[in-house]
Amino acid sequence: MNLSAWTEIAPHIPVLLRGILVNIELLLGLISLGLGVGVVTALVEVYGPRPLGWAAGAYTWFFRGVPEIVLLFLFYFGLSQFGVPVSAFFAAVLALGLRSSAYQAQIFRGALQSIPHGQMMAARALGLGRVKAIAYVILPQALRLSLAGWSNEFSSVLKDTTLAWGIGVVEVMRQASYIRARNFTLTLPIYITVALMFLVLTYVGNVAIGLAERRLRVPGLEGRR
């Protein structure tokens, strides 16, 4: 590898950036899906009726037990076989998002269970119904406690977005392989560039979460790191 390889890569940067933009879109889609489904799953596991709780348990067991790449194939090819044609992008958001929801559910469940029972009792004693008590007293505390675990999940799914390559999503890894196919001498510089892009994204993401954590911090309610 020589210096010329590095100058040659410059014109390809915009393409790589366009690729990583897709990763960011995947990330935003899957992490919000995972957040929504994860919170609901955790609430069902902790507060829902028994049978629903078991269903939620089976759900998280499935999505934590099957490799991501297998999930991607299952969703992409599986859905179209059931007559639901989906884009590779959508299938990736769905597969990775539901998988993330299972992990996020675990984080939220732990946090929910760590809130002392007295909080719920005091809320109910005031006349708040169960749903309001959860919404105004339990969840605000549980979500704060979850932030530390959640930032791990964020870094992990950010990197997982590259797996969408496997079902043909034109994200950064696929763009990289196109460039590389045309010019093999660029192989290493390209992947080093991609690695740097992810390092920057992870850094920026964690700084943002750290800021949120500091903003939301309440004395006496510390997340366990």
Partner 1 sequence: MALLRVENLHKRYGHEEVLKGVTLTQEAGETKVVIGPSGTGKSTLLRCINRLTEPDQGQVWLEDLEITSRRSDINQIRAKIGFVFQDFNLFTHLTALDNVRLGLTKVRRMPRAAATDRAMAELDRVGLAAKAGAYPAQLSGGQQQRVSIARALAMDPKLILFDEPTSALDPELIGEVLSVMIQLARDGMTMIVVTHEMGFARSVADEIVFMEGGVVVEQGPPEQMFRSPQIPRTGEFLRKISELYGESS
Site residues (vs partner 1, CB under 8 A): 116, 118-119, 121-129, 132, 136-137, 140-141, 144, 218-221
Nearer to partner 1, 141 or 155 (CB): 141
∠ Cα 23 26 30 (to 5°): 140
Nearer to partner 1, 12 or 144 (CB): 144
Residue 183: CB minimum distance to partner 1, A: 55
> What single DSSP character describes residue 135?
I
Contacts of 106 (CB under 8 A, 6+ apart): 42, 60, 64
> What single DSSP character describes residue 219?
T
Residue 149: CB minimum distance to partner 1, A: 18
Residue 14 CB neighbour total at 10 angstroms:
10
Nearer to partner 1, 71 or 133 (CB): 133
Residue 112: CB minimum distance to partner 1, A: 14
Distance CA 35, CA 38 (A): 5
Distance CA 98, CA 67 (A): 12
Nearer to partner 1, 39 or 190 (CB): 39
> Which is nearest to 96 in space by CA: 11, 157, 6, 17?
157
Residue 124: CB minimum distance to partner 1, A: 6
122-137 in b/e burial notation, b at 16+ Cβ within 10 A?
Answer: ebeeeebeeeebbeeb
∠ Cα 83 94 136 (to 5°): 130
Residue 53: CB minimum distance to partner 1, A: 21
> What single DSSP character describes residue 183?
-
Residue 193 CB neighbour total at 10 angstroms:
21
Residue 167: CB minimum distance to partner 1, A: 42
Nearer to partner 1, 83 or 219 (CB): 219
Nearer to partner 1, 11 or 118 (CB): 118
Residue with tokens 């629903």: 52
Nearer to partner 1, 181 or 218 (CB): 218
Residue 123: CB minimum distance to partner 1, A: 7
- What the block records as the tokens of 7 is 């100058």
